Amino acid sequence: MKKRIYYHDTDCEKVMYYGNYLKQFEEGRYEYMLACGIDLAQVSKQDTLFTIRRVEIDYKASASCGDYVTICSEIIECHRASLIFKQEMFKDDMLLASAKIDVVCVDKSFKPKAIPATIKDSLSK
């Protein structure tokens, strides 16, 4: 996913605020799921939600206001009720940040549940 870094993503030095990398990675995961044919807004109507359990992030360089960045997302592990994503953000060929994000499938009561077979099938295509 390619996108621009806007002024509201940055701090007073016009460098992207560290917490906003997570927001960018969230958008990357959402677009990844859409590309696999999974509309998370529709899935949530079927008592299936995905929530974050754990994040590991390494910051390598800064993104600045006006930069175009590319967010790469891939699933590196798929378990019964969770997915582990590897995500990276680049400006041109320079790695800005990398993250490992553990996403858990839950019901509307936020109790873990198995990822529906239809979703797993879509992710494996």
Rg for the chain, CA atoms, rounded: 15
Pinpoint the alpha helices (H) of 1-125: 20-35, 40-44, 117-123
For the segment(s) 2-123, the CATH number from 3.10.129.10, 3.90.1150.10, 3.30.1490.20, 3.30.450.40 is 3.10.129.10
What pLDDT does 35 receive?
95
Alpha-carbon gap, residue 125 to 119, rounded angstroms: 10
Q: For residue 65, what are its two tokens?
A: 């206001």
What pLDDT does 86 receive?
98
Report the DSSP beta bridge partners of residue 101. Answer: 55, 85
Q: How far is CA 101 from the centre of its chain?
A: 7
Tens-level pLDDT at each residue, the chain (125 residues): 999 999 999 998 899 999 999 999 999 999 999 999 999 999 999 999 999 999 999 999 999 999 999 999 999 999 999 999 999 999 999 999 999 999 999 999 999 999 999 999 999 87
Alpha-carbon gap, residue 116 to 58, rounded angstroms: 31
Which residue type sits at 4? Answer: R
Alpha-carbon gap, residue 81 to 98, rounded angstroms: 23
**What is the residue whose two structure tokens read 């990276």?**
88
Domain assignments of the chain as residue spans, ordered by start: 2-123
